[in-house]
Amino acid sequence: MRITYRALTLSFIIVLLPVISAAKIDSSANNLSDSSLTTERTSKKTVQPDTLPAPIKSVELDQIEIKQNRFTFRFAEAARNMAVIRPAERNDLPSIGLAELLGTVSGVDIRRRNPVGIQADIGIMGGTFEQTQVLLNGIKMSDPQTGHHMMNLPVNLQEISQIQVLKGPGARIYGQNAFTGAVNIITEIPPERGLRLFGYGGAFDSFGGRASISIPSGELRQLISLSHDLSDGYRHNTDYELTNLYYQGELSAGPGRFELLAGYSDRSFGANSFYASEDFEDQWETVQTSILSFDYRAEGDNWELTPRIYWRRNDDEYRLIRHQPEIFQNFHTTNVLSAETHSVVRHRYGRTGLGVEVRNESIESSNLGNHNRDHFGFYAEHRIEPTPRFDLTPGVYVNWYSDYDWNAFPGIDLRLALAERWHLFANAGLSYRIPTYTDLYYEGPTNIGNPDLEPEQAITWEAGLRYLSSSWMAHVSFFRRHADRLIDWVRESSDDPWQPRNFHEVTTTGLDLQFELAAARIAGIPYLERLHAGFTILDSNILNNGDLESQYTLSHLRYQMTAGFTWAPYSRMHHSVTWRYTDRLTLDSYHLIDSRLHWMQSGWGVFIEAVNLTDTEYREVNLVPMPGRWLRAGINLELGF
């Protein structure tokens, strides 16, 4: 370990050298520091605070920016199947947590074991929870122990300015865990000094309070937030308690700015039937997740540079019987330390993006043992734009794991504007995922790991057509994914424990449809502000699996439909209704209707919402019934000082 951390420290010093040089560049010689940063600050001031009417009225769909670790481009220029959640949806949709909000996106499979996402898994386009990469401001939140911890984020909806969902392979963009998709959660520091307060209460003795303060001072801007949520639970042993603490700071310096991000999430919950059989009603778990990141974002006339170092720690305690830890108990501590740098150069032949990362992953566990592995990765991609109507982006991600040697994952995106608003796109790419430590080494009464697992890999092809204007968006795409050595927990009979194995081949095909209308801009449609709908159909074919029973591969969505609208019967009142239909391969289908009524004044707002308005009985995970109708009401305040 001592050698590993020295190597990581040395690598970060190397990637930091360009920053030291860049910071010495005279701002007048570049003619950049003042103009670019002023433009950025000015644009941020247009972001409307939470308590004002929905910002969708001032956001044009074709001008939304997509920010990846290297390239930034407009949504209209995307050659991939993507969805973007903006502040308007965050304010108006019936949701307290991130998992509820993501559940409104077609093709995104949120599988919760608790209604507010205390423990939630996320899959995209038929992938499992281990095959999705979750990022916070570009920082990878993957955990080497298990993908169950991917959504343990220290931020609340009030700090989030945008959520970008990539539906499809993202290995050449985000690395190995983006097997079937990625979710990048972007937070932003409000430009004005202020205190924001939010509180709610509802059924099952659920309560929550959140406070955030923004403190801009000259070239330094800071955001601090604290939240606490708790509930007695909707059935036996489903109580929970969640505390989040988050800090984000920015300091302008030279041709860019330094950014510091720190977060801590502490969640404890009754885990009735979460992991073992339904006979174990008194399972319990507590998880603490910490994240610390430091980076410098510099930009010149024809270049961008972002070196970053970050650390993520996760502590997990699990008990099979809550008040009898001596029966069966696990302790796990994982640490991820990473240094990376990303750059873009603009020239006469297009834009070239390069990136490099060095990472160490380790675990100390009472069940899984103590393990450590190193990783090195290199990104290269080039965006060619010979005309405004056509662009081509080939790229490759090359990585090395100390346990799995070298691998390369090429990909290519293509976009062709058939007319001013019509865009044809296609892409293809390889993806890859190494086993987690739980996959490899877990030992329990109902699950046993497999140390002989090999990494899984897949190739995916996709083609689609998109219509996009300032008010309308319509999208249709078709994909086919062929996976080899797919990892899944399987068993031959109900008497056997679950154990992960490498399937020989799995082929998944899918169709995704999306529609959105920002009707507030269209004359003749009074009151209506937003109308949206989505439909996803997926089909998987497993080859050569014998008579094995699959736990995850055959549990994805088969049909998914989402729809909803937001309207304003009065100038400061917003009412939204969302509907979801879910048909899963292994569970009964169900319909869900949620609704929120939100009144917003200058400086304050109140809301009342109903989740599962029709009191539907349903399950998102096989052993865990979800609650019936859940009513909540709350208030938010915004105070300047």
Amino acid residing at 606: V
Alpha-carbon span 511 to 480, nearest angstrom = 9
DSSP output for 490-506: EESSTTSPBEEEE-SEE
Terminal C-alpha separation, the chain: 48
Alpha-carbon span 528 to 289, nearest angstrom = 41
Helix (H, G, I), strand (E, B) or coil at 35: helix
What was the pLDDT predicted at 350?
A: 93
For residue 325, give Cα distances in angstroms to 149, 281, 282, 320.
21, 14, 11, 7
Alpha-carbon span 67 to 59, nearest angstrom = 16
Please give the average per-residue pLDDT across 372-382, as a whole number.
95
Sorted by where each begins, the domain ranges of the chain are: 2-639
Residue pLDDT, tens place only, 476-523: 999 999 999 889 888 888 788 889 998 778 899 999 999 998 765 565
What was the pLDDT predicted at 44?
A: 37
Alpha-carbon span 167 to 173, nearest angstrom = 13
Residue pLDDT, tens place only, 61-79: 767 888 888 888 888 888 9
Question: Which H or E run contains 187?
Answer: strand 181-187
Residue pLDDT, tens place only, 138-182: 999 999 999 999 999 999 998 999 999 999 998 889 988 899 999
The count of residues in the chain is 641
What was the pLDDT predicted at 544?
A: 67
Strands 549-550, 573-584: parallel, antiparallel or unpaired by DSSP? unpaired
Helix (H, G, I), strand (E, B) or coil at 533: strand
Alpha-carbon span 2 to 217, nearest angstrom = 40
Pair 384, 393: CB distance under 8 Å: yes
pLDDT > 70: percent of the chain: 89
Partnered with residue 433 across adjacent β-strands are 456
Alpha-carbon span 41 to 273, nearest angstrom = 49
The 10 Å Cβ neighbour count of residue 411 is: 24
Please give the average per-residue pLDDT across 245-271, as a whole number.
96
Amino acid residing at 91: N
Partnered with residue 631 across adjacent β-strands are 610
**pTM, rounded to two decimals:** 0.88
Chain-centre distance for alpha carbon 239: 25
Give, as one character, the DSSP assignment of residue 519: G
464-476 in b/e form (b: 16+ CB < 10 A) is bebebeeebbbbb
pLDDT for 16 beyond 70: no
Integer Rg of the chain from CA: 24
What was the pLDDT predicted at 36?
A: 34
DSSP strands (E only) in 454-572: 456-468, 472-484, 487-491, 499-502, 505-517, 528-543, 549-550, 557-570
Please give the average per-residue pLDDT across 604-628, as a whole number.
93
Give, as one character, the DSSP assignment of residue 434: P
Alpha-carbon span 519 to 528, nearest angstrom = 6
Please give the average per-residue pLDDT across 208-226, as a whole number.
95
Pair 111, 129: CB distance under 8 Å: yes
Alpha-carbon span 579 to 602, nearest angstrom = 30
The 10 Å Cβ neighbour count of residue 388 is: 8
Partnered with residue 412 across adjacent β-strands are 394, 428
Amino acid residing at 258: F
Average pLDDT in the chain: 86
DSSP output for 157-175: GGGEEEEEEEES--HHHH-
Please give the average per-residue pLDDT across 45-53, as a whole number.
36
Selection from 153, 173, 3 nearest residue 72 by Cα: 173
Pair 464, 413: CB distance under 8 Å: no
Residue pLDDT, tens place only, 272-331: 988 877 788 999 999 999 999 999 999 999 999 999 999 999 999 999 999 999 999 999
DSSP output for 71-118: -EEEGGG--SEEEEE-HHHHHHSS-SSHHHHHTTSTTEEEEESSTT-S
Spell out the alpha helix ranges (H) of 124-245.
171-174
pLDDT for 444 beyond 50: yes
User: Which tokens is 283 given?
Assistant: 């399972």
Query: Given CA atoms 156, 159, 162, 166 in this order, what sign does their dihedral have?
Result: negative
Most confident region among 85-89, 112-116, 451-455 by mean pLDDT: 451-455
Spell out the alpha helix ranges (H) of 256-415.
none
pLDDT for 37 beyond 50: no
**Triad 378, 248, 70: Cα angle to 5°:** 25
What was the pLDDT predicted at 524?
A: 60
User: Which tokens is 174 given?
Assistant: 């985000």
Selection from 612, 488, 606 nearest residue 549 by Cα: 488
Partnered with residue 486 across adjacent β-strands are none
What was the pLDDT predicted at 479?
A: 97
User: Which tokens is 157 given?
Assistant: 């909806």
What was the pLDDT predicted at 523?
A: 54
What was the pLDDT predicted at 41?
A: 34
What was the pLDDT predicted at 525?
A: 67
The 10 Å Cβ neighbour count of residue 215 is: 16
What was the pLDDT predicted at 458?
A: 95
Pair 582, 564: CB distance under 8 Å: no
Alpha-carbon span 539 to 584, nearest angstrom = 11
What was the pLDDT predicted at 137?
A: 94
Alpha-carbon span 100 to 80, nearest angstrom = 24
Pick the CATH number of 2-639 from 3.20.20.70, 3.20.20.150, 2.40.170.20, 2.60.40.10: 2.40.170.20
Please give the average per-residue pLDDT across 434-456, as a whole number.
92
What was the pLDDT predicted at 520?
A: 57
Pair 96, 200: CB distance under 8 Å: yes
Please give the average per-residue pLDDT across 599-614, as a whole number.
92
Q: Which of 86-90, 98-102, 226-230, 582-586 bottoms out in mean pLDDT, i.e. has the lowest?
A: 86-90
Strands 132-136, 181-187: parallel, antiparallel or unpaired by DSSP? parallel
What was the pLDDT predicted at 75?
A: 85
Please give the average per-residue pLDDT across 238-257, as a whole number.
95
pLDDT for 438 beyond 60: yes
User: Which tokens is 529 given?
Assistant: 């502000």
Query: Given CA atoms 353, 359, 132, 171 in this order, what sign does their dihedral have?
Result: positive
